[in-house]
Amino acid sequence: MQGTSPKLVTAGLWLVVLAVSFYLLVIARDLLIPLVLAIFVWYLINLLARQFGRIKLANRTLPVGIQFLLAVLVTATIAGLFGKLITSNINQVIETAPAYQENINRMITENFERFGLEEPPALKSLVDGINLASLIRNLATALGGLMGNLGLITVYLVFLFLEQKFFRHKLRAIFPDDKQFDVANHILKRIDRDVSIYLGIKILVSALTGLISWAIMASVGLDFAGFWALLIFVLNFIPNVGSLVATTLPTLLALLQFDTLIPFMIIGIGVGTTQLIIGNFVEPPLMGRSLNISPLVVLLSLVLWGSMWGIPGMFLCVPITVILMIILYQFDSARWIALALSKNGQVTPSN
């Protein structure tokens, strides 16, 4: 190894560490995904509890126990409503799927007849092989598999809350030196601040997008407008791809549901314009420099975590990247990685 650049050796070691880490993340995904989702929910509950802590009654804040109890109740209620809405609408979509399938066949036949063309046998076989009801059932099965993890996620949540009150004591035990403790504490505060900003703004803009989209879809009488609005809200947490899918699905449904193209155009243009305006002119100023991540890195992170962990990885890719940037920036040997992940070569140090 004599004559080898120390920086080159360090870079090589980092690559080995990353490769081993990614391998472990893939093979342990069934164990790690429920744990990471539990941490995510645990963080949301703590974030919501802090908001309840700002409420004052007779110039006194709510007791800590009441804050957490309200946060848990609100989270459980919202999750239950989401689950009920998704389940009921999927059942209705399955019931109406044959009608949509007939519309697909009719539209293809009419368009070929309009231009005096004969429908190719291969295309007819392909269309006949499409079973929308079966596709919806497969989607329901996938969602059921996710719901099946709720038990394990709940167990993780219980233990996270039991460990929470000892976390600061453990941190002090791990870093007995005051300077090291301060650095670790600053890193955690920076992570908490940036992830809180990301989640708060993302929830706000996604809810706004879903509400406006619901108004547009309901105004033209689109089936399951509430379900599609909820799906738009959820998919907006997936960078880049989510908003595109959220716009395409209800637009295609309008094409299948109605006999004219006017509702299809209204929904496509209305929902698409809403996504464009909020995603490009409302959200960026709100985020500011708090998430100084390169758009290319966001896209690569989406592909990477999506390939490793599927849809949960797509939802978590931005918070995970933010945390990695903040942690890597604290170490001189890894700071170049954090700078490479940033948008403009600057990462604000924790302070």
Q: Read off the pLDDT of residues 184-195 as tens digits, 9 standing for 90 and up.
A: 888 888 888 888
d(CA 229, CA 234): 9
d(CA 226, CA 44): 24
pLDDT, mean over the chain: 80
Q: What is the mean pLDDT of residues 130-139?
A: 58
Percent of the chain with pLDDT over 70: 81
d(CA 207, CA 11): 42
pLDDT at position 284 is 80
DSSP for 60-123, written as a single string:
EEPPHHHHHHHHHHHHHHHHHHHHHHHHHHHHHHHHHHHHHHHHHHHHHHHHHHHTT-PPPHHH
Residue 249 and residue 225 in contact, taking contact as beta carbons nearer than 8 Å? no
- pLDDT bracket for residue 149 (50, 70, 90): confident
Token pair of 193 as six digits: 């601040």
Q: What is the mean pLDDT of residues 298-325?
A: 86
pLDDT in tens, 221-277: 998 888 889 888 988 888 878 888 888 888 888 887 887 889 989 999 999 999 999
Q: What is the mean pLDDT of residues 279-306?
A: 80
Percent of the chain with pLDDT over 90: 10
pLDDT at position 268 is 92
Q: Is the pLDDT at 134 greater than 80, yes or no?
A: no
Residue 61 and residue 55 in contact, taking contact as beta carbons nearer than 8 Å? yes
More confident residue, 125 or 161: 161
Identify the weakest region by mean pLDDT among 126-140, 147-161, 175-189.
126-140
Residue 340 and residue 321 in contact, taking contact as beta carbons nearer than 8 Å? no
Identify the weakest region by mean pLDDT among 21-25, 131-135, 200-204, 245-249.
131-135
In the chain, where does DSSP find H-type helix? 6-27, 29-52, 64-114, 121-129, 132-148, 150-164, 167-174, 178-219, 225-235, 241-257, 262-277, 283-287, 295-329, 335-341
Q: Is the pLDDT at 175 greater than 80, yes or no?
A: yes
pLDDT at position 70 is 92
Q: What is the mean pLDDT of residues 26-44?
A: 87
Q: Is the pLDDT at 129 greater than 70, yes or no?
A: no
Q: What is the mean pLDDT of residues 71-100?
A: 78
d(CA 144, CA 245): 21
pLDDT in tens, 304-314: 888 888 888 88
pLDDT at position 56 is 82
Token pair of 94 as six digits: 């399955």
pLDDT at position 266 is 93
Type of residue found at 173: A
pLDDT at position 117 is 59
**274: buried, middle or exposed (CB in 10 Å: 19+, 13-18, 0-12)?**
buried
pLDDT at position 123 is 46
pLDDT at position 271 is 93
More confident residue, 314 or 149: 314
Q: What is the pTM of this model?
A: 0.77
Phi, psi of 258 (to 5 degrees): -100, 155
**Which of 174, 201, 202, 200 is CA-nearest to residue 188?**
174
Residue 305 and residue 316 in contact, taking contact as beta carbons nearer than 8 Å? yes
- pLDDT bracket for residue 351 (50, 70, 90): very low
d(CA 273, CA 161): 42
Residues 6+ apart with CB under 8 A from 339: 329, 345, 346, 347
d(CA 328, CA 335): 6
Q: Which residues pair with 57 in a beta bridge?
A: 60
**Which of 200, 206, 229 is CA-nearest to residue 217?**
229
Residue 83 and residue 144 in contact, taking contact as beta carbons nearer than 8 Å? no
**302: buried, middle or exposed (CB in 10 Å: 19+, 13-18, 0-12)?**
buried
pLDDT at position 113 is 66
Residues 6+ apart with CB under 8 A from 218: 225
Residue 56 is inside which H or E element, if any? strand 56-57
pLDDT at position 216 is 95
